[in-house]
Amino acid sequence: MTVNKYLLFDLFIMLVSRLPMLLLFFGSTIWAVVRRKVHPQASQMVLIASFIYLFDGLFFTVFPYEIGPVERLLSIESIKTERWLYSGIYFFENFARAAIVVLVVGAAFADRSRSVKATN
């Protein structure tokens, strides 16, 4: 396996482009750790969403370098296989992002029965 000489630069660019969201998730992670005794379920959901987001960002930055460019492949079958692989991986990326949204929205409404009484 050869490592692309621009991998570190691309990782840096990914970090800079995702910096607002990373700051938000680091802040929410700290908030979740501080508030875990008051709202344990919501804190756990936010922590899981933060870790999924971090791994998602790293995986989809490094993943294209593992397969390599299409131009170096010689056969049509290899190109078709690579397209299917990319399509499948990015299809599952949408599920990861959906899981992040579901966890964060779920955390917003978790543990509400103890702090706020429901009105009928």
| Mean of pLDDT values over 22-33 | 85
Listed ranges 1-15, 44-58, 64-78; the one with the highest mean pLDDT? 44-58
Q: How many CB atoms lie within 10 A of CB 5?
A: 7
Per-residue model confidence (pLDDT) at position 28? 84
Q: Judge whether residue 51 has pLDDT over 70.
A: yes
Measured CA to CA, the distance from residue 52 to residue 57 in angstroms comes to 9
Q: Which of 96, 102, 114 is nearest to 46 (CA)?
A: 102
Per-residue pLDDT tens over the stretch 55-96 = 887 777 666 655 555 555 556 667 677 778 778 888 888 898
40, 107 Cβ separation under 8 angstroms: no
Per-residue model confidence (pLDDT) at position 75? 61
